Every structure is written in C-alpha cells, then in structure tokens.
C-alpha cells in the first residue's frame, strides 16, 4: 500500500484505546518555514511523540508505528520504534512478513524496509535465510542492480554461511550471464571469492594453501576470459580482474605472478585492438611484474656473497617489465586520451620505482662495478 493510497479512517482522538494518552504537539517556536502535514499525519506524530516520551512498548504503540510507516515509508524513527516494540512484546518475527511484503511490493528500494527485514531475519535464525534470499532475488528480477537486495543477500550469507557461500557464487554467475556488464553481480562474485580466500588462508598448511590459491585464481581467470570474449571492452569484467588480485588474502603484486593475465590481455587485444581496459590491465601486469623482479633483486643484493651477474640479470628484468608498461601507457595516451593525466600519473609512479632501484639510464652494471 503506498502512502498516497493510505487513508486514516478514525482519528486517534476518537479511538477508545487512546483515550488515556495526551498527544504531544511539536513546539517549533516561530518557524521560518513550517512543514505542511496532512491533518491525520500531524495527529499521528503527536501521539507518536507522546508514546516515545513515555517509553511505551505496547500493542497499540506497535499499531501506531504501522500507521506512521504507511504514511511515510522512509520514517526511520517509526521503523526503529517498531523494532523495539516487536522485541519488547516478544513477537514472532516471521509475522512481520505480512506487514513488510506489501511495502516492498510498493517500493523495493526503501532502505528502512530492508534494514528492518535484515534485523528480523537475524532474529529468526538460519530458518529465515532461504526466504530472505528469495525475497532479494525477486527484487533483483525487477531491478538487477538494486543495491539493497544485493546487500540483503550478503547479510544472509554472512550470517548463516555454510553451503550458502557456494550458492551465492553460483547466483552471481547466473546474474552475470544475464548481463555481463552488471557491476553489482561482479561485486557479489568478489564478495563470495573473498570468503573462499579466507578459507584458503585458514588451511594452515602452507603447501595446501598455495595449491588452493592457485586453483582458485586459475578458475577465476578462466571465468574472466570467457566473459571478456563476449564483450572485450566491458569495463566491469576488467575491473573484476584487477580487483581479484587486490582482495584480502592475495600476496603482494600477485598479478605479476600469473602470466595468464598477460595472455588474457593479449587475446583481448587481438579481438579489439587498442582496447583501453585491456591495455590498462596489461600495463598493471607489467608494473606488478617489475615489482616482483625488484623484490628478487633486493634478495640477490643482500645475498652473501652477492652474484653480480645474477644482480644484473634481475635489474634487466625490472627494466624490461617497466619499459613494457611504459609502452602500453603511451598507447593509452592515444586510445584513451580523456584520462591523459591519469596515465601520466601512472608513468610517474613507474619512473619512481625504477629510480628507487638505481636503474636510470646512467646506471652502471653490477658486474662492471665489481671489476672497477
């Protein structure tokens, strides 16, 4: 029922059950601009203030919150007080479906409504999870990017876990198949994968954790590759690829450890030459590869005794990766000129990395320095 359709039939002042309650009018002093309320809404507010002032959590107070919410579905205070009444009265939270379902049908993007449903779900326990997941799915059928519905699914899965994590990964895949550009669905997949990364980290055994991590990344890269083939210029999938290696649990510069990223970008550029997202991610791959080589270089420089030949080889690897990244950033200046300042910023970061390692154009090879 919408607020426009709702009509208060009997004034509260004429209701026997409210005869003992003195409404509390709002004292605004001398207002500059007064809010114009409908007469029945103004009366509801007066009785609601009186109820709150007394701290009354009763059946009539609960009914009053319903009237308040029907009048203004975004009334956060009314929703919160309703929640307090439900708890105080020991109500079965599943009974709230009858109250909230019509409101959701009227407006599935009501923040206060979803917040209330979430609290009711958590109060009921795992038995409510499937119903709430279905409610959110129904809302997503109407609007596949309804933030509130996606967040509600996350709340249910986080609260009750178990098999729900795998189901959510599958659900995100279903939604991505419907619309490969649905950022919300890609975000949900990242949410599920992040949980899997936590499970990998919790294995305890380093070798087992590494195997599980490799399998997970290989699986996701294959999935990403298939979606890029459908729409090479779709930034949603490229953002997911970039974000995959930034999730908690991923090693530093993990992207540079997986040559599949390079292969994936190369294949995309064959289908869509000068594709900015592919060039961007490939440049990031080379930047991370340069950092991986830089870490190896630091290890060699602190070895005892140091090997000048190995150090020079590692330096060359850093320089080669950095030069490849520079070449790609130069391509991006042409293919995506609107972000010229950003590409220049990326180049400065790259130059800073190279300079910090003493790998400028005048750098002397370690082997030659050792012979000097």
Q: From its phi and psi, is residue 149 left (phi > 0), alpha (psi between -120 and 50) or beta? A: alpha
Residue among 263, 223, 267, 259 nearest 241 (CA): 223
Catalytic residue among 42, 91, 109, 313: 109
Residue among 154, 258, 252, 248 nearest 201 (CA): 248
109 is catalytic: yes
The single residue listed with the structure tokens 């799915």 is 137
Residue among 192, 273, 186 nearest 236 (CA): 186
Q: How far apart are CA 71 and CA 52, in angstroms?
A: 18
Q: How far apart are CA 281 and CA 251, in angstroms?
A: 18
Burial (CB < 10 A; 0-12, 13-18, 19+), residue 47, is buried
Q: Is the Cβ–Cβ distance between 182 and 145 less than 8 Å?
A: yes
Q: How far apart are CA 224 and CA 69, in angstroms?
A: 44
Q: How far apart are CA 180 and CA 133, in angstroms?
A: 22
- What's the half-sphere exposure (Cβ side, CA atoms, 13 Å) at 141? 7
State whether residue 223 is helix, strand or coil. Answer: helix
**Catalytically annotated residues:** 109
């Amino acid at each position: 029922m919408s607020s426009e359709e709702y009509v208060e039939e009997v004034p509260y002042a004429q209701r026997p059950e409210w005869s003992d309650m003195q409404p509390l009018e709002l004292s605004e002093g001398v207002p500059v601009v007064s809010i114009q309320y409908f007469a029945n809404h103004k009366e509801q507010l007066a009785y609601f203030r009186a109820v709150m002032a007394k701290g009354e959590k009763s059946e009539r107070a609960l009914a009053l919150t319903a009237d308040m919410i029907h009048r203004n579905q975004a009334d956060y205070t009314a929703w919160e007080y309703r929640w307090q009444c439900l708890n105080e009265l020991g109500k079965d939270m599943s009974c709230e479906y009858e109250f909230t379902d019509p409101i959701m049908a009227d407006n599935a993007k009501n923040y206060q409504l979803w917040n209330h449903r979430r609290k009711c779900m958590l109060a009921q326990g795992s038995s409510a999870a499937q119903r709430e997941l279905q409610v959110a799915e129904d809302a997503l059928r109407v609007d596949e990017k309804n933030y509130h519905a996606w967040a509600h699914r996350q709340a249910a899965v986080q609260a009750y876990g178990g098999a729900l994590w795998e189901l959510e990964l599958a659900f995100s895949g279903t939604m991505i198949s419907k619309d490969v550009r649905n950022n919300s669905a890609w975000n949900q997949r990242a949410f599920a994968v992040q949980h899997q990364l936590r499970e990998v980290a919790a294995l305890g055994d380093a070798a087992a954790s590494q195997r599980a991590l490799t399998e997970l990344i290989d699986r996701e890269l294959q999935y990403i590759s298939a979606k890029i083939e459908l729409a090479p210029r779709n930034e949603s999938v490229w953002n997911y690829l970039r974000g995959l290696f930034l999730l908690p649990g991923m090693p530093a510069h993990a992207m540079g450890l997986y040559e599949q990223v390079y292969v994936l970008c190369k294949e995309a550029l064959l289908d869509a030459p000068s594709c900015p997202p592919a060039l961007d991610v490939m440049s990031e791959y080379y930047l991370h590869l340069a950092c991986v080589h830089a870490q190896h270089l630091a290890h060699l420089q602190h070895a005892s005794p140091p090997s000048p030949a190995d150090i020079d080889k590692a330096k060359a690897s850093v320089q080669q990766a950095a030069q490849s990244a520079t070449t790609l950033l130069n391509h991006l200046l042409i293919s995506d000129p609107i972000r010229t300042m950003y590409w220049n910023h990326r180049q400065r970061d790259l130059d800073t990395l190279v300079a910090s390692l003493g790998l400028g154009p005048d750098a002397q090879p370690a082997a030659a320095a050792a012979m000097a």
